[in-house]
Amino acid sequence: EYSLDLSNLNPSINLDHESKKDFKGLYVLSDEGVVQYVGISKNVLVRIKQHFVSNSHYSASLVYLMALKEHEDQERAKSKNEKYKYKNLRKNLPNFDDF
């Protein structure tokens, strides 16, 4: 079992694909016991770091999903439309950079 406290994940930490600290496997990201994201990687620590510090909406999948949920929730509240779903391109999600 390996647990990582993400509050200590410093963007300046140099984890690369040659890091002796990294490992391959399945990872589960949860919030208060609720699973938010499941992934598999050859470099788990590098991949987790990418989820939070990458500026690409492709490699920061978790951040994209968080931004998408917040955006859809805000739009539903504004328009009183419970069925609102974002239908634009990933790169055009208006609040992605905020995350």
* H helix or E strand, kind and range, residue 48: helix 44-53
Task: Categorize the per-residue pLDDT at 90 as very low, low, confident or very high, splitting at 50, 70 and 90.
Answer: confident
Q: Which residues pair with 25 in a beta bridge?
A: 41
Query: What is the residue whose two structure tokens read 């509240």?
Result: 77
pTM for the model: 0.62
pLDDT digits (tens, 9 = 90+) for 38-73: 999 998 888 888 887 777 777 888 888 888 999 999
**DSSP label of 88:** S
